[in-house]
Amino acid sequence: MANGGLIAVSGTHMVAAAAHHHSTQVVVCAGPYKHSPWFPFNDDRFNALVSPDAVLPYREGDLVNNVDVISPRYDYVPPELVDIFVDSMGGHLPSYLYRLLQENYGDAKDLAWNIYDS
């Protein structure tokens, strides 16, 4: 994301928060094509809900009828929990990603407006 955060599989935020609590570095390895000029104004916009059957099987009939289970596919990890991004161009701090986006996409603000308009 343009602010240095990331969208990853569900559970990643919890792992990153635990690493931050224990002063362990979080290193994100991804290709430069994974960088996005979008800002996470609404965390739910980038998420999808999936069937909770993997977490709570439907055969648990009595329990399933008494609880509501929400199973998101992705987590948003804020930039405060990420120490460094590593891609084919090297290692970058989360606060520097906006500059990489400008170098790769030109003016990221104009690109973001074009994406929202479509």
Closest to 95 (Cα-Cα) out of 113, 108, 78 = 78
Instruction: Provide mean pLDDT across the span 24-42.
Output: 78
What is the predicted pLDDT for the residue at 94? Answer: 80
Closest to 7 (Cα-Cα) out of 87, 30, 93 = 30
Higher pLDDT among residues 54 and 9, named by residue: 9
Q: Is the pLDDT of residue 20 over 70?
A: yes
Q: What are 96-118's pLDDT values in tens digits?
A: 777 777 777 666 455 555 444 44
What is the predicted pLDDT for the residue at 21? Answer: 95
Task: Classify the C-alpha dihedral 17-21-22-26 as positive or negative.
Answer: positive
pTM above 0.85, yes or no: no
